Amino acid sequence: MRHHVYKSYQEAEILSADPLELVRLMYRGAGEAIARARQCVGAGDIAGRVTAINKALTIVTELTFSLDRQKGEELSRALVELYNYIQRLLIDANCRQVDGPLAEAEGLMATLQEAWENCGPASRARGQEEEEELAYAPVSCAG
């Protein structure tokens, strides 16, 4: 029952998301899949590891295909190279059944996710609110 409710929530979140939010959700999903794969490596759960790594690979592949290579071609090229590197890390981890490449892939995805979280109108509005709070913060001269 609980799993069904969570799955319904996820579907609603995806269906109502704008393109920027979809990219954020993909990064979050890839990061969660890699974290799950790391847990499975530690527990010796081969089937779970394979499933989690395959999910992460699918998401990273979709991120690669979603790039607009006409706009920002230099950035797109750099992201393609990074996504390819992450895919190689995931495949290496799966073949050798080790955590190291997964840890590196997880770190790279977390960095990319953080960058995307700070993109778009919502982050700009958050930044403005923080600046306004700083501008009106009381100052104490007592020493």
Residues in CB range of 24: below 8 A, 6 or more apart: 113, 116, 117
The answer as to whether 65 is a domain residue is yes
Domain count, the chain: 1
The answer as to whether 142 is a domain residue is no
140 pLDDT above the threshold of 80: no
Q: Give the pLDDT confidence score for residue 137 in this predicted structure.
A: 44
The answer as to whether 139 is a domain residue is no
Here the CATH number for the domain that contains residue 59 is 1.20.120.340
pLDDT tens per residue across span 45-60: 999 999 999 999 999 9
Kindly report whether the global pTM for this prediction surpasses the value 0.85: no
The answer as to whether 7 is a domain residue is yes
Give the model's confidence band at 141: pLDDT under 50 very low, under 70 low, under 90 confident, else very high.
very low
Nearest to 103, CA basis, from 86, 116, 117 = 86
The answer as to whether 125 is a domain residue is no
SS3 of 143, please? coil
CA atoms within 13 A on the CB side of 132: 6
Domain range enclosing 105: 2-118
The answer as to whether 133 is a domain residue is no
Tell me, letter by letter, the H, E, C secondary structure of 117-142: HCCCHHHHHHHHHHHHHHHCCCCCCC
R_g (Cα) of the chain, nearest Å = 19
Q: For residue 141, what are its two tokens?
A: 């001269």
pLDDT tens per residue across span 21-45: 888 889 999 999 999 999 999 999 9
pLDDT tens per residue across span 67-90: 888 887 898 999 999 999 999 999
Cβ(41)–Cβ(98) below 8 Å:
yes
Amino acid at 94: N
